[in-house]
Chain A
Amino acid sequence: MRYSKWFILLICFCCLLSCKKTKYAGNDTLIDSLVISFPNSFTPDKNGPQLNESYKPVYAFGAYKKDSDTVFIKTVNTPLKKYEMEIRDAENKVLFYTENINEGWNGTARNKSMPNGPYNAYFHLEGITQGIINKNIQFVLIR
């Protein structure tokens, strides 16, 4: 009886640890973790490099390094349950919206090139098994 109590406690402790790991990958090396990095600038000048021509996050699986511009979200080798990116200008006008993580903003709105300056990207990320991450990233359009 006494051992069974300890056994139950041990199980609970392990569950707590695993929950913590599952909720936030942090610095752990997890093969199925998705790392999303947010640049703070892009230059849609059609002069390359292609990655910098539109604004979108850069993501990769299986990475572990964390810095201030990186979000870790655990997934099961699939992108995300839900993804939203909304671009607003400094005056809070919506310029672009997408639910496709591979689609970037090309620096135009209503077929007009937007001027150099600061913009805001609002991200809504939902992992397969985790909670929701909302993030605002300020970035600069420059060309």
Chain B
Amino acid sequence: MIKNYFLFTLLILGYSLNAQKDLHYLRLLHYTVESPASIHFQGKLSAKAGLGFAFTNDDQHVKDAFSLCYFSKLFKFAVQYKQEDDSYNSINKQSKNISLNRYFKIRKKKDILSVGLDLKMLKYTINWDEFKWADQADPTRGFTKPTNETHTNNDVIAASFDLACLYYNTQKDYFAGLIFNDITSPFIGFNNGTGSGTRLPRELILYGGYNYEIVKHLTTTSTLLLRSFNFHNDMFVKQDIIYKNKYWAAIETNLKSDFKIFLGIQPYRGWRWGLSADIQPNPRSIHGNTNFYKLSIGYALF
């Protein structure tokens, strides 16, 4: 019998310094890394369908996302459409993703290898009038002088794709995966005709973790994530603890100064409420000493 599952999520997310991360949303959808390989990993599809909103105290950077997923168990195949709108300063970045996912059962059907491919179409829209260039500065009047900066492109379109795979065992509760984002490293040039521009940096993520049942109804998940982006190499550690599948808490840190705290509850069947805090006590960071909080409310449609 063919079983079709629909996964419908609507997110309004605030600024995240690590945009690839799904900060606290629904517990079953809040994996540290958004990976096309994890579409039907554990709780991902057990949520079946969800509708969620998030509220944040960050108003400098707005990001919202919408995704729709179709999964055919018979063909072990999933298609996911995701649309993101990411605005910072005077640049708006829209991305439309189509994720194709196929999983393979290997070794007596206990081990699962899931492979995902994410095709992305990126569109940058620039409002040049909002820029304040150095050559416009007039000490007595502000940025009022005409600029000699030439610019012609208001829209830049690029295509890229991500590749990911995830291995997990249905009985032993461990998992490991890798994600390779922006493999083609597309060229993004805003000044048309000048030949200038930069390539979108590639990102490689390796992660693994283990689910452990401490006592009955109380489980914990430890996740280790290694990330290489541009010239950065980072390590993140995340620890989840879940009680009766209704209450959960997690902490994630890069072992330096930043860490995130997640708290959540499923008060009624279908409803999931969550609170997350992004703690960055660094006055020299892009947000200074401001910590960010996010309230998430989710509902499983069916």
Which of B's residues lie within 8 Å of A, judged by CB? 17-18, 60-61, 88-91, 124, 126, 130-137, 139-143, 147-150, 188-191, 194, 196-201, 229-232, 234, 257-258, 280, 282-288
Contact = CB atoms under 8 A, between A and B. Distances in A.
Interface in A92-113: 92-93, 109-110, 112-113
Q: For the side of the interface on A, what is the size category?
A: 35 or more
Interface string A111-134: 011111111101000000000001
B188 A49 contact: no
A143 B198 CA distance: 7
Contacts of A91: 17-18, 229, 232, 234
A67 B283 contact: no
Nearest to B286: A120
B200 A37 contact: no
A132 B190 CA distance: 37
Contacts of B148: 48-49
A55 to B, nearest CB: 8
Contacts of B147: 49, 52
Given A48-B148, A59-B139, A88-B284, 16 more contacts: A39-B133, A41-B131, A45-B194, A46-B196, A47-B196, A52-B134, A55-B134, A58-B134, A91-B18, A91-B232, A92-B285, A110-B231, A113-B198, A115-B200, A116-B197, A140-B88
B135 A49 contact: yes
Interface string A62-86: 1111010110000000000000001
